[in-house]
Amino acid sequence: MSKAGASDLFIDLLTFPKEAAGVPRHSIREEVRKYVYWGELDSGPATFSHVGGHFFGAIWDGDLFHAWTRADLNNKALLMECFGADRIIQDAIENGKPTDYAERMVMEPAL
C-alpha cells in the first residue's frame, strides 16, 4: 500500500486490530480487501488510484485530524485507540487549527 501512495498513518491504521478498539468493523481493511479482490493493484501500485470516501482519502494522505472530522463513530474509536487524542490534536495544530478548536473537536463527545 505504501508503494501505491498510502501514508504511514494509513498503514498504521490498516494493521491496527479492530478488537483493540472494541468495534464491529474495520472500514479501511474492508476497502483495501475490495481493491485486492478486484485486482486493482495487479497492474502495479504506482498506477493505483483509490476511490474511497473522505475518511479513507484523508487517512490515505496522512491527514489525521481531517480523517477524524470525517470519521463515523466506529472509525473514531479506531483512530482514538490507534493514535490517541494527543496525537490527533497535535496533527490539527500542526496543520494550522487553533488549539482550543482541535481539543474541542477531539475531546467533546459526539451528539
Q: Lowest-pLDDT range, 23-27, 48-52, 55-59?
A: 48-52
Write down the domain spans for the chain. Answer: 2-107
pTM of the model as a whole:
0.85
Between 96 and 2, residue with greater pLDDT: 96
The pLDDT assigned to 90 comes to 98
Contact 83, 67 (CB under 8 A): no
**Which distant-in-sequence residues (6+ apart) come within 8 Å of 99 by Cβ?**
89, 93
